[in-house]
């Protein structure tokens, strides 16, 4: 109940991301906050006043000239009784009104009449977001003291891909908690996460790799950051956007990943979620290998890649307090995970089935088993984001008894 006693006024504007506002209300109330809501006419096209009222357990305000409000001055009372105003989604239209000082509906009037801090969660099409008018309006609002969370990069409702996606609900909640100065369970701690595949060159245009998408590792980095950790993410080649608030180091090969992880030390927590190639070509060709008719294909001489997980687990005085590895297996999952735990010398193995039937590699869901020297904890199938959030909380609890 970190937000117990905090009063938040949520302005829900007219964008498809308004559906996320319902989850935002629920999450804030779970943390003890009182949430009142202003719903614009556009916002009501995406979420109903009844749904908003049911989740907030408060009356929903949507009419500037309501005859049922005391003295017709609800916009003044709403703006003054809140500790923080949150606009989610913050559309291009509403931000333009705010920048120009317009007050032609309840939402814009409340925002103009307020003397309280305002947190914006922008959401719109990528061209609307990048338009000079929108950026100028945002700059004006930030110069006046408005706070901002997001937007992120990803699939947009219009079918395009790019900037403009409203921040995840967990990121908005974390931004609200930071505003109130509330420390997360990992505040003051540094964490290292590896993610994605590695590409081991055969020649300048070909390489050895695997099917890892990096979705699980990136989600873990984001979840740790939301709990207050200072996170360095060492990522192999992926097509994912950088997690907000995370320091990202991009690499291609296992050797580069090892160098980057060692450079990130000291940290208290290391999560090695990357699918590092076990082998590399001993002598990559300087020029592209050509196919020659009648000549057999060339043989590749392989050598072992450095073992990043074992290196971190044996780092002596620089060893992280908690070293976590991943075991991506296609058979005898728990047996192989236990053997890897012993062989690598780490504290925990997160085992998951990556056989083709599982859909784990490249997919959005995962089934994991937490293997420690004395027990195995099996979690049900859940989204990779949920796995990351649960794992981050589990690791925070493991570190909780130790001082930063």
Q: What is the pLDDT of residues 100-137, one digit of tens each?
A: 999 999 999 999 988 888 999 999 988 999 999 999 99
If pLDDT is split at 50, 70 and 90, which confidence band does 8 have? very high
The answer to whether the pTM exceeds 0.75 is: no
- The predicted structure's pLDDT at residue 294: 87
Count other Cβ atoms within 10 Å, centred on residue 135.
11
Render pLDDT for 265-282 as a digit per residue (tens, 0 to 9).
999 999 999 999 999 999
Q: What is the dihedral sign for C-alpha 124, 126, 131, 135?
A: positive
Q: Please say if the pLDDT value at position 354 is more than 80.
A: no
Question: Which residue would you say has higher pLDDT here, 380 or 238?
Answer: 238
Q: Please say if the pLDDT value at position 3 is more than 60.
A: yes
- The predicted structure's pLDDT at residue 44: 94
If pLDDT is split at 50, 70 and 90, which confidence band does 365 have? confident
What is the architecture, at CATH level 2, of domain 7-179? 3-Layer(aba) Sandwich (3.40)
Question: Which residue would you say has higher pLDDT here, 67 or 116?
Answer: 116
Q: Please say if the pLDDT value at position 375 is more than 70.
A: yes
Render pLDDT for 216-264 as a digit per residue (tens, 0 to 9).
999 999 899 988 899 999 999 999 988 888 999 999 999 999 999 999 9
- Beta strand 269-272 pairing with 322-329: parallel
Which H helix or E strand runs over 11?
strand 7-12
If pLDDT is split at 50, 70 and 90, which confidence band does 71 have? very low
Distant-in-sequence, close-in-space partners of 145: CB < 8 Å, separation ≥ 6: 117, 118
Domain boundaries, the chain: 7-179, 190-400
- The predicted structure's pLDDT at residue 200: 97
Please give the DSSP secondary-structure letter assigned to residue 70: G
One DSSP character per residue, 299-331 reads P--EEEPP-HHHHHHT-GGG--SEEEEEEEESS
CA distance 354 to 142: 45
Topology alike, domains 7-179 and 190-400: yes
Distant-in-sequence, close-in-space partners of 168: CB < 8 Å, separation ≥ 6: 152, 385
Distant-in-sequence, close-in-space partners of 102: CB < 8 Å, separation ≥ 6: 108, 112
Q: Are 218 and 197 in contact (CB under 8 A)?
A: no
Q: Closest Cα partner for 246 from 198, 308, 193?
A: 193
Count CA within 13 A, CB hemisphere, residue 377: 10
Render pLDDT for 161-174 as a digit per residue (tens, 0 to 9).
677 889 999 889 98
- The predicted structure's pLDDT at residue 67: 44
CATH code of domain 190-400: 3.40.50.10300
Is position 272 annotated as part of the catalytic site?
no
CA 394 to chain centre: 17
37, 158, 272, 346: which one is catalytic? Answer: 158
Average pLDDT over residues 177-185: 81
Q: Please say if the pLDDT value at position 55 is more than 70.
A: yes
Q: Residue for token digits 């649960």? A: 390
């Amino acid at each position: 109940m970190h937000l117990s006693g905090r009063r938040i006024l949520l302005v829900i504007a007219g964008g498809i991301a308004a559906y996320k506002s319902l989850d935002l209300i629920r999450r804030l109330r779970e943390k003890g906050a009182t949430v009142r809501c202003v719903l614009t006419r556009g916002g009501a096209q995406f979420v109903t006043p009844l749904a908003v009222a049911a989740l907030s357990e408060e009356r929903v305000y949507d009419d500037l000239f309501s005859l049922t409000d005391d003295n017709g001055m609800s916009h003044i009372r709403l703006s003054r009784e809140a500790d923080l105003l949150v606009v989610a989604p913050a559309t291009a239209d509403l931000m333009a009104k705010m920048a120009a000082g317009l007050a032609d509906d309840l939402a814009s009037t409340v925002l103009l009449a307020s003397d309280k801090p305002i947190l914006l969660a922008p959401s719109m099409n990528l061209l609307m977001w990048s338009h000079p008018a929108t950026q100028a309006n945002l700059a004006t609002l930030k110069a006046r003291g408005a706070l901002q969370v997001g937007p992120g990069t990803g699939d947009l409702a219009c079918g395009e891909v790019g900037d403009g996606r409203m921040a995840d609900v967990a990121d908005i909640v974390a931004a609200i908690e930071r505003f109130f100065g509330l420390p997360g369970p990992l505040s003051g701690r540094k964490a290292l996460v590896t993610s994605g595949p590695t590409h081991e060159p055969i020649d300048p245009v070909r390489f050895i790799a695997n099917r890892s998408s990096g979705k699980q590792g990136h989600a873990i980095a984001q979840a740790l950051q939301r709990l207050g950790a200072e996170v360095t993410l060492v990522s192999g080649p992926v097509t994912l956007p950088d997690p907000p608030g995370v320091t990202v180091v991009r690499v291609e090969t296992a050797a580069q990943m090892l160098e980057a992880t060692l450079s990130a030390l000291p940290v208290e927590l290391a999560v090695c979620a990357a699918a590092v190639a076990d082998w590399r070509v001993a002598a990559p060709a300087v020029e592209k290998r050509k196919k020659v008719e009648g000549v057999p294909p060339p043989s590749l001489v392989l050598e072992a890649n450095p073992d990043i997980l074992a290196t971190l687990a044996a780092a002596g005085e620089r060893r992280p307090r908690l070293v976590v590895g991943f075991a991506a297996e296609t058979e005898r999952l728990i047996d192989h995970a236990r053997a890897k735990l012993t062989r690598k010398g780490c504290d925990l193995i997160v085992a998951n089935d990556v056989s083709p039937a599982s859909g784990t590699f490249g997919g959005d869901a995962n089934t994991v088993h937490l293997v420690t020297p004395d027990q195995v904890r099996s979690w049900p199938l859940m989204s990779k984001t949920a796995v990351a959030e649960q794992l981050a909380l589990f690791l925070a609890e493991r570190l909780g008894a130790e001082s930063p």
